[in-house]
Structure 1
Amino acid sequence: MRLVTCAVKNDKKTKEQLVQELEEMRLRIAELENKQRQAGELILQSIHNWEETFNNITDMITIHDRDFNIIHANKAAEKIFGLSFVNEAKAKCYRHYHGKDAPPKGCPSCQCLKTGEAVIFERFEPHLNMFMEVRAMPQFDSRGRLIGVIHIVRDITERKQMEEALRKAHDELEIRVKERTAELIQANEEMLGEIAERMKIESALRDSESKFKKLSQEFNVLLDAIPDNIVLLSPYLEIMWANKSATQEFDGCTPETKREYCHKLCANFSSGKKACPTLRSFVTGEDESAQISTPDGRFLDVRTFPIADEAGNVKSVIEVTRDITRRVRMEEEAKLIQAKLIHTNKMTSLGTLVSGVAHEINNPNTFIRSNAQFLSKTWKDIGNVLDKTCRKNGDFRAGGIPYSELQALIPEVIRGINNGSVRIQEIVNNLRNFARPEKANLDGKVNINNVAVAARTMLNNQICKFTDKFQMACGKNIPFVKGSPQQIEQVVINLIMNSLESLTDKKSRIWVSTSYNKKTGYAVIRVRDEGSGMNKETLERVTEPFFTTKQDSGGTGLGLSISYAIIRDHNGIIEFESECGKGTTATVKLPVYGRNNE
C-alpha cells in the first residue's frame, strides 16, 4: 500500500497504466476461459462421436476387465447377448458368449490375459446357434499394465453355411466328372472295338481279293462312296489308284495315269516326310497312322495299311486320308473355352476372397481415416494453446522431442496417416474392381491409360520384386476404345507378368506405353522387356491353350491364350516380336470407340 501511495505521489500516469494492464489481464483471462470452454465442448463432442461410431459398428464389440466382467458393449453386442448395463451391474463374458458358469477350456480371453497378445479364433456357440469369428485384443493402461480385453465378434454363420454348400457342390461335381469319365472310357472302348472290327473286315477283304475279283466293280463303287481320300501307293510313293473323293481332291485328274507322287498331290510337299506313315508301313509292314499339317494350313489324319505278297514283302500300301481341319479347329476352340471356364472359376474364387479381405481392411481403415481427420482438427486448437505455452515458458519436450520440432512434425505425421489410409482404400478398390464378376458387355467406353495405370498398381509388389527399372509412358488425347475395362486390364496384367517373369535380373528394363495411331484408327498398348526372349518355335505357339515354357514354375499356358481370345473378341490385334537373349515386345491394337464398331 505504501508503494502504491508513493507511486501516486511520484507519478499520476503510473496508476493509469496499472489500471489499463489490469483490464488487459481480465480480458485475457476471459479469452482463456472461453477457449477452455470450447476445448471442453470439443472433447465432449469427440466422446459422443466415438460412442456413435462404436455403437454403429455392425460387429459385436465388448470390453472386459481382468475378472471377465463385461464393462462396456456396443448396440450390436447388447442386442445379441441381451445386455442392459442400466439394470445389470456385472455381466460375465463367459455366460453370454459361451453359456457357461465359468471360462471354458481354450477361452481366448484367458489366453489373451495370460500372454498379453491378440488372439483370433472361430467357434460355434450352440446356445446362440451361431458361428463366431472372435478377435480378443489386450487392453493396457497408460503405464502399460494389462487391465482387460477387447472382444470384436463377427457372425460368420452365413459364410460357414455357404462354405458347406460349396463343399457339397464340389462333391456333386466330382461325382458327375467320374460318371462322365466312365462314359468316355466306355465310348473309347466301343470305338476301339469298331476300329478293330474295321481292320478285321479290311484284312478279310485283302485275303479274299482273288476269290472276289468278280465283285471289283461293286468294291470300287463302295470305295468311291467313302468321303475319305483313299489311294494305293507303290514303294516309290507313286499313286497307282485313287477313289472318287481323292480324284476330286486332285482337281479331277486321274493320278494313276500320270504316276503322280502322293506327297505332292495330297499334302503339297516337295518330297516325302520322315514322319510319313506310308514310309513307315513299307519299312515295318504294320498299319501306321499320323496327323499331318500341310503348308496351306490344313490338318490331315492319315492311316496306312500295307499289302504284302505271299513271301511277306510289302508291295503296296493303302493310304486313307481324312481332312480333320475343322475338327482340330473345334478342339482348339473347345480347349480355349475350357481355359476360359477355368479362369472364370478362379476369378470367381478370387472375387470371394478379395471381397472378404476388402471388408476386413476397410473397417480398420475407416477408423484410421476418421481418427486422422479428428487428430488434424484437434491439433489446430491444441497447437494454438501449446504455441502460447511455448512462447510464455520456453521450449519443452513431448514424447522426447522438442515442441519446436513437433510443430512441423505432427501435421506431417497426421497427413502421412491420412495419405496412407487413402492409398490403402485405392488398392482395395482396385482389387475389388479387378476381381468383381462382370457381365459379358463389350460396349463400354474404355480409357486405356486408366487401364494401364490400374494394372501397374495391381502389380506394384511384383514389379518391385523383379525389376528396379520399370517405366510407363501414357500418351495424351487417346480416344476411348470399345469394350470391357476389366478384360483389357486382365490382358495388360498378363503381358506385364510375362515380361517380369522373363527378366534375368533386377537391372533389366520393362517399358509400358500407350499411344494412338490416327492412320489405322487403333489405340495401342505396348509392353517391351529386356528378358530372355523366345525362339521362333515358341513364338509361333505362344497363344496356344495350355502351351507353356514355365511348367516347372507352375505355368498353365492359359494367360496368353485367354489374352488372345479377349483381344479377338474386342476386334483387336495382339502381336509379339521376340529375340532370344534380347527381349520381347507385345503390342495390343484396339479400334477406338465409334470407328466401324458402334
Structure 2
Amino acid sequence: ILKAIVFTSFLLLISFFILYFTFGEIIAKLVSAEKFASKAKAEWERTFDAVPDMISILDDQHRIVRANKAMVDSLGISFQDIIHSKYYKIVHGSDEPPSFCPHVKLLQDHQSHTVERFDERTRRYLTVTAFPLEDSEGNFFGAVNVARDITEQKIAEQQRIATEDKLQKAEKMEAIGLLAGGVAHDLNNILSGVVSYPEVLLMQLSSDDKLYEPIKAIQESGERAAAVVADLLTVARGVATVKEIHSPNIIIEEYLRSTEFKNLQSLHPEVTIESQLADDLWNINCSAVHIQKVVMNLITNAVEAIDNNGSVLVSTRNQELSPFTIAASSLDVGEYVIMTIKDTGAGIAKHDLEHIFEPFYTKKIMDRSGTGLGLAVVWNTMKDHDAFIQVTSDDSGSTFTLYFPPCRDEAVGQKSSADISELKGSGTILVVDDEQQQRDIASKMLTLLGYSVETVASGEEAIAYCKKSSVDLVLLDMLMEPGINGLETYQQIINITPSQKAVIASGFSESSSVFAAKALGVGSFIKKPYGLEQIGNAVKKELNG
C-alpha cells in the first residue's frame, strides 16, 4: 500500500511539473503575444497619426469611429468631440450628407469613390476618397475616408494653363504686330506731308484767309489718320513710350473732361457714366497718353455695348493679391493699382471673349464701330507697362479689370504747350532722309524756326558731307534703302566728329538700332509724322544739352 501511495504521489508530482511548464509556456506566449499586439497597435497608431492626409474610419451611419491627428488638427476640435459624431455635421456643418459625398455612394455599391472639391471652410482644394472595409469573409462593415490637400498642385496647374494661354496669345499678337508695324512705318512716311505741310502753311496764313479752313481740315484729317497709325504701332508692341510717374485718377479725370468724352456722351445720352476713384490711390509709372487711350477705348466700348438705358462705372483701388486670388491667372502675388470699367450691357459671348484683343476682331466679327484696333491697343499697352488685364462677362454686363504695378514716387506735374518763339534757335542742321518729301518738310520747319538747313538723301551722302563740312546737329532717318541705315551712318559720322549731336526721326518705333545709336551719343527720338513743336523741342534740347 505504501509503495502504491509513493508511486501515485510521484506520478502526481510529475504531472504537476508537466502541467506547470506546459501552462507556463502558454502563459508566457500569451503575455508575449499581448505585448507584441500592444506594440503593433502603438506603431499602427503612430503611423496613422503621422500620415499628412486627413483620415477617418466611418461606420454605415456616417459616424466617425477613428480619426488621425491630421483630421483632428484640421477640424480644430478635440479627438473626443470627433469620435461617434456624424462626419457631415462636423466637417460640412450640415444636417445631412452633401450631394457630392463619396461615402453616400460607397454605401450604395460598396465600391471606392473619389471627388475633388474646394473646401470653403479651409479655403483649400481637396480630393476625398472613400474606401470600403470588409472582414475576412468579405462582409462590408465600414469605410475609410481619406482627404488629401491638393491646393499647391491645383494652383500650379491653373498657373501653368494660364501661362500657356498667355504664351499662345502673345505669339499670335506678336505675329499680327509685326505686320501692323511694317504697314504703320510706310503710312507714317506718307502722312508726314498731310500733317506737317498744313501746319507750316497755316502759320503763314491769317485765320480769315479763305484757304485757312480747308487747310485746317486737311491737317485734322491727317492727324486722325496718324492716330490710327499710332494705334497700329502700339499693336506692333514697339511704339516709343516715355514713362513717368502719374496718378491713374488724374488720367481718368482728364479723359472725363475731354472733348472726346463729351462727344461720346452726346451720342449716347441714355447711358450714365459714373466714377468711384480711391482717394489714397498709389501712382503708376506709365505713358499717360497711352493709358488715357486705354481708358478712352474701354469706356467707349462699354458705352457702345449698352443698347438702351444703362450705366458704366469706372473705379480705382489699391489691392494686395494672395495666392488664392491669382490662382487662375498669371499675376504675381503682391500689391497692385486696380482700375475697373464695368458696364450693364448685353455681355460678350463666350466664344468671342478669347478673341476680343485681336486687331479688327471687334470690327469684322462683332460688328462694332471704330477701327477695330481699340482693344488690341489696350492689350498691347498693358503688356508694354508690365500690367495685366482680366475680362469677365455674362448677360448682365462686362467688367474689364486692369492691374498695374504701383509706384510710391511723387507724380510729375502737367506740361503746357510751348510757344513758337520758345522753339526758335540757331545753327546748321543736316537732314538725312531717303524720301524727298521728308527732307522738304524737315527743311521748311527748321528754317521757320531759324535754323540753317542742308539736306542729303542717304547715309553715304551724309558721311561725305560731314567729311568736308561741320554741322551743329544731324536729323537722321533710321531706315534708309538701299544704303546704310541711321545707326551705321552715325557710327561713321562720330569717327569723323566724335561729339556730333544728332536726333533720330523714324516712321516706325524705337528699335534695338535706335537704342544702340542712343548709346553712342544720339540724343532724342521723334516719331513721324511730327509737328513743329515736336521737332523744335527735340532739336533745341539736343543743341542746348
What TM bracket, shorter-length normalisation? 0.3 to 0.5
Q: TM-score, normalised by structure 2?
A: 0.45
Q: TM-score, normalised by structure 1?
A: 0.42
Whichever structure has more helix as a proportion of its residues is 1
